[in-house]
Amino acid sequence: MTNPDTIFALSSGRPAAAIAVVRISGPQAGRALQELTGRVPEPRKAALARVRDPQTGDPIDEALALWFPGPRSETGEDVAELQLHGGRAVIAAILRALGTVPGCRMAEAGEFTRRAFANGKLDLTRVEGLADLIAADSEAQRRQALRQLTGALGERAESWRKRLIEAMALIEARIDFSDEADVPEDLVRPALALARELRG
């Protein structure tokens, strides 16, 4: 899936904090990074950069800039990340500056995750696991959410899907080819055994 627009948002906690993380995803992520820092760093390597307002040239902050070209990124799109000082004024200035880059807009709530899902980077069980991990209050909730986020539930569901398809194929073969001599008489028994395994 290709999105025509590029989104950005503060992905760390609310200010004020020591560090703020601003993430940018979409076709103009590289351009945004270029306009704010004067360069696009080597992929997957942090680079110290002076961040400037692209319209006025005024300095905003010094930051670590990271570049993750798609599709090998968290969302499957080109992704840039700026790790800046987490003061309210710094964050307001960087978000304002990003809003001036053509094709860039503020992300809606959950939009980075939605793009990762649409681009096959997360399945639905992992999206739910991510939401559960963010909302986890207890150690048990955290552990369960992490198992879901790392794919344990998705793998189980995929295993069930494969078994159901196999059972369905056996039953359909029995129905469609029951008058053929080379089709075993009882194809339903293995299908029922598979169904019982799933139930138990």
The residues near 86 (Cβ < 8 Å, ≥ 6 apart) are 12, 15, 16, 17, 18, 19, 20
CA-nearest of 76, 94, 71, 68 to 12 is: 94
Domains of the chain: 6-118 (3.30.1360.120), 123-200 (1.20.120.430)
How confident is the model at residue 78, as a pLDDT?
97
Cβ–Cβ contacts within 10 Å for residue 98, how many?
Answer: 25
Query: What pLDDT does residue 2 have?
Result: 64
C-alpha torsion angle, residues 114, 115, 118, 122 (rounded to 10)? -70
Question: Which pLDDT value is given to residue 1?
Answer: 58
Kind of pairing between the strands at 47-52 and 104-106: unpaired
Give me the helix-helix angle, 124-135 and 152-176, nearest 10°.
150
- Reference 79, options 51, 50, 119, 129; nearest CA is 119
3-class state of residue 131 by DSSP = helix
CB atoms within 10 A of CB 187: 18
In degrees, rounded to 5, the angle at the alpha carbon of residue 28 between the alpha carbons of residues 149 and 121 is 20
3-state secondary structure of 194: helix
What's residue 70's pLDDT? 93
Going by C-alpha positions, the residue among 90, 80, 66 that lies closest to residue 18 is 90
pLDDT of residue 29: 97
pTM to 2 decimals?
A: 0.71
Q: What is the mean pLDDT of each run of 10 residues along the chain (200 residues)?
A: 85 87 97 96 96 95 96 95 95 96 95 91 80 87 82 73 81 74 68 74
Q: Rounded to whole angstroms, how far apart are CA atoms 140 and 158?
A: 25
